[in-house]
Amino acid sequence: ADKKYNYEQLFASCVIKPTKYTEIDSVISKMLTHKSRYEAVGSRLQIPWFLIAIIHCLEGRLRFDRHLHNGDPLTKRTVNVPKGMPKTENPPFTWEISATDALVYDKLNTWTNWSISGILYKLEGYNGFGYYSKRINSPYLWSYSNHDTKGKYVQDGKYDPDAVSKQIGAAVLLRRLREKQLIILPDTDLINQILAQGKVTRFYNGSVTSAAKILQQLLNRAGAVLRVDGKAGELTSNEYFKFSGEYLNGDSRN
């Protein structure tokens, strides 16, 4: 609960440093160029494309010859933490195989809270929560904003109180994506409405229902692109799964 409140307050009061906009927007343009690759991996795991893109920026500098786990080369298994990944398949790895392994390893495929606080929690967790003990905001999230000054883990387990991050923070990228209206981030109230409406909506069985229309409208507010036709079929059920971790009642995939 304390992390949730903290993330929401920090994100709401985040101010990106004006001198960094050009660099940030250039990175976002590169993300959009490869959006289809992020979507291809994300759709199979029910993970938003932009979350994968942000991790790719932080861990691999948007290079597709690097592991999403930590930026090590795809020519062999990872040598840095987490070491020896992926444990299956044989090198050299495709980026898609490595990315899928990294996301599943971090259990992002089972996460369903895609609110601002839920996203930031998983992004910080991807790097580690070591900054909490230092009582500073994680530069992994907040670098290039008013919420970051100095102090950084310069390598695994080695903290430098005077080091300044030279990498765009994950929360800053998320903030800028929303500012440019490239993504829609649902708030907690909207997610709760989606979960409640999903409980009273059945998978399409030939009948158009008002419950399905309401659910489709709520899902569209949260960023989906659904036809509001009252037929809660596979697409509607897929979007509901992203927030609930389960398909609609009557969907054979449950």
pLDDT tens digit string along 56-65? Answer: 999 999 999 9
In this prediction, residue 150 carries a pLDDT of: 92
Q: HSE (CB half, 13 Å, CA atoms) of 51? A: 32
pLDDT tens profile 15-48: 999 999 999 999 999 999 999 999 999 999 999 9
Tally of CA atoms within 13 A in the half-sphere of 202 that contains its CB: 7
Q: Which two tokens stand for residue 165?
A: 């991050």
* pLDDT exceeds cutoff 90 at 3: no
- Per-residue confidence band for 185, with pLDDT thresholds at 50, 70 and 90: confident
pLDDT band at 223 (very low <50, low <70, confident <90, very high): confident
pLDDT at 171 over 90: yes
Tell me the average pLDDT across 146-165.
Answer: 90
Q: Averaged over 117-136, what is the pLDDT?
A: 93
Amino acid identity for residue 190 in this structure = L
Q: Is 157 left (phi over 0), alpha (psi -120 to 50) or beta?
A: left
The reported pLDDT for the residue numbered 187 is 80
- Residue partners of 36: CB distance under 8 A and separation at least 6: none
- pLDDT tier, 167 (very low <50, low <70, confident <90, very high otherwise): very high
How crowded is residue 135: how many other Cβ atoms within 10 Å of its Cβ? 7
Work out whether the CA dihedral 33, 36, 41, 47 comes out positive or negative: positive
End-to-end CA distance of the chain: 30
pTM of the model: 0.85
Q: How far apart are CA 246 and CA 253, in angstroms?
A: 9
Span of 29-33, 64-68, 143-147, 224-228 with lowest mean pLDDT? 224-228
Averaged confidence pLDDT in the chain: 94
pLDDT at 2 over 90: no
* Angle between helix 49-60 and 21-33 (nearest 10): 120
Alpha helices in the chain (DSSP H): 2-12, 21-33, 35-45, 49-60, 95-105, 116-127, 131-134, 139-142, 170-179, 188-199, 210-221, 234-244
Residue 21: the pLDDT is 95
Q: What is the pLDDT of residues 53-101, one digit of tens each?
A: 999 999 999 999 999 999 999 999 999 999 999 999 999 999 999 999 9
pLDDT at 1 over 80: no
The Cα–Cα gap between 165 and 70 comes to: 17
